[in-house]
Amino acid sequence: MGSLPFLHDPLENSSSHLTKALDTEEFRKQGHMVIDFIADYYQNIEKYPVLSRVEPGYLKKCLPESAPYNPESIQTILQDVKDHIIPGLTHWQSPNFFAYFSSTASTAGFLGEMLITGFNVVGFNWVSSPAATELEHMVMDWLADMLQLPKSFHFSGNGGGVLHGSTCEAIVCTMAAARDQMLSRIGSENLGKLVVYGSDQTHSTLQKATQIVGINPENFRAIKTTKSTGFALSPAMLRLTISSDRAKGLVPLFLCATMGTTATTAIDPLGAVCNVAKDYGMWVHVDAAYAGSACICPEFRHFIDGVEGANSFSFNPHKWLFTAMDCCCLWVENPSALINSLSTNLEYLRNKASDTKQVVDYKNWQIALSRRFRALKLWLVLRSYGVANLRKFIRSHVKIAKIFEGLVRMDNRFEIVVPRNFSLVCFRISLSAIVSDDHYDGEEYNMVNEINCKLLEAINASGSVFMTHAVVGGVYVLRCAVGATLTEEKHIREAWKAVQGQAHTILSACIVDSA
Cα–Cα distance list, 399 to 12, 102, 142, 245 (Å) = 62, 16, 26, 44
Considering only 162, 196, 215, 259, the residue that binds its own copies (CB under 8 A) is 215
CB of 4 to its own copies, least distance (A): 6
Phi, psi of 223 (to 5 degrees): -70, 130
Cα–Cα distance list, 262 to 112, 200, 208, 265, 267 (Å) = 28, 11, 16, 6, 10
3-state secondary structure of 116: helix
Report the residue number, 137 or 431, with the smaller CB distance to its own copies: 137
Task: Tell me: does residue 86 bind its own copies (CB under 8 A).
Answer: yes
Report the residue number, 20 or 439, with the smaller CB distance to its own copies: 20
Rounded to an integer, what distance in angstroms lies between the CA atom of residue 99 and that of residue 111?
Answer: 25
Residues 51-70 that bind its own copies (CB under 8 A): 51-52, 54, 56-60, 63, 65-70
Task: Tell me: does residue 24 bind its own copies (CB under 8 A).
Answer: yes
Report the residue number, 148 or 508, with the smaller CB distance to its own copies: 148
Report the residue number, 138 or 413, with the smaller CB distance to its own copies: 138
Report the residue number, 267 or 272, with the smaller CB distance to its own copies: 267
CB of 6 to its own copies, least distance (A): 6
If you ran DSSP here, which 8-state letter would residue 267 be given?
A: B
Task: Tell me: does residue 320 bind its own copies (CB under 8 A).
Answer: no
Considering only 159, 165, 335, 483, the residue that binds its own copies (CB under 8 A) is 165
Phi, psi of 479 (to 5 degrees): -110, 125
Rounded to an integer, what distance in angstroms lies between the CA atom of residue 172 and that of residue 207?
Answer: 10
Considering only 46, 90, 239, 454, the residue that binds its own copies (CB under 8 A) is 90
Q: Write the interaction track for its own copies spanning residues 128-157; mark x where CB under 8 A is met and - where it is not.
A: xxxxx-xx-xx--xxx-xx-x--x------
Report the residue number, 224 or 413, with the smaller CB distance to its own copies: 224
Residues contacting its own copies: total by CB under 8 A: 175
Q: What one-letter code names the amino acid at 406?
A: G
Residues 357-386 that bind its own copies (CB under 8 A): 358-359, 367-372, 376, 380, 382-386
Residue of 153, 57, 49 lying closest to 96 (CA atoms):
49
H helices within 85-233, ranges in order? 107-119, 130-146, 167-186, 205-212
Residues 477/452, Cβ–Cβ less than 8 Å: yes
Residues 467-506 that bind its own copies (CB under 8 A): 468-471, 479, 485-486
Report the residue number, 257 or 478, with the smaller CB distance to its own copies: 478
Report the residue number, 138 or 237, with the smaller CB distance to its own copies: 138
Report the residue number, 272 or 390, with the smaller CB distance to its own copies: 390
Cα–Cα distance list, 75 to 30, 34, 445 (Å) = 9, 10, 55
User: What stretch of H or E contains 248?
Assistant: none
The count of residues in the chain is: 515
| Options 47-55, 226-234, 267-275, 434-442: segment touching its own copies (CB under 8 A) | 47-55
Task: Tell me: does residue 98 bind its own copies (CB under 8 A).
Answer: no
CA 483 to chain CA centroid, Å, is 12
Task: Tell me: does residue 247 bind its own copies (CB under 8 A).
Answer: no
Considering only 158, 214, 246, 508, the residue that binds its own copies (CB under 8 A) is 214
Rounded to an integer, what distance in angstroms lies between the CA atom of residue 11 and that of residue 503?
Answer: 62
Q: What one-letter code names the amino acid at 507?
A: L
Task: Tell me: does residue 84 bind its own copies (CB under 8 A).
Answer: yes
| Options 32-40, 400-408, 424-432, 491-499: segment touching its own copies (CB under 8 A) | 32-40
Q: Write the interaction track for its own copies spanning residues 189-208; mark x where CB under 8 A is met and - where it is not.
A: x-xx----------xxx-xx
Considering only 17, 227, 302, 497, the residue that binds its own copies (CB under 8 A) is 17
Q: What one-letter code names the amino acid at 5?
A: P
Considering only 9, 355, 438, 513, the residue that binds its own copies (CB under 8 A) is 9
Task: Tell me: does residue 308 bind its own copies (CB under 8 A).
Answer: no
Other CB atoms within 10 Å distance of the CB of residue 494: 15
Residues 324-353 that bind its own copies (CB under 8 A): 324-326, 341-342, 344-350, 353
CA 278 to chain CA centroid, Å, is 28
Rounded to an integer, what distance in angstroms lies between the CA atom of residue 202 and that of residue 414?
Answer: 27
Phi, psi of 425 (to 5 degrees): -115, 125
CB of 201 to its own copies, least distance (A): 11
Report the residue number, 230 or 413, with the smaller CB distance to its own copies: 230
Residues 417/477, Cβ–Cβ less than 8 Å: yes
Cα–Cα distance list, 334 to 215, 219, 377 (Å) = 22, 25, 26
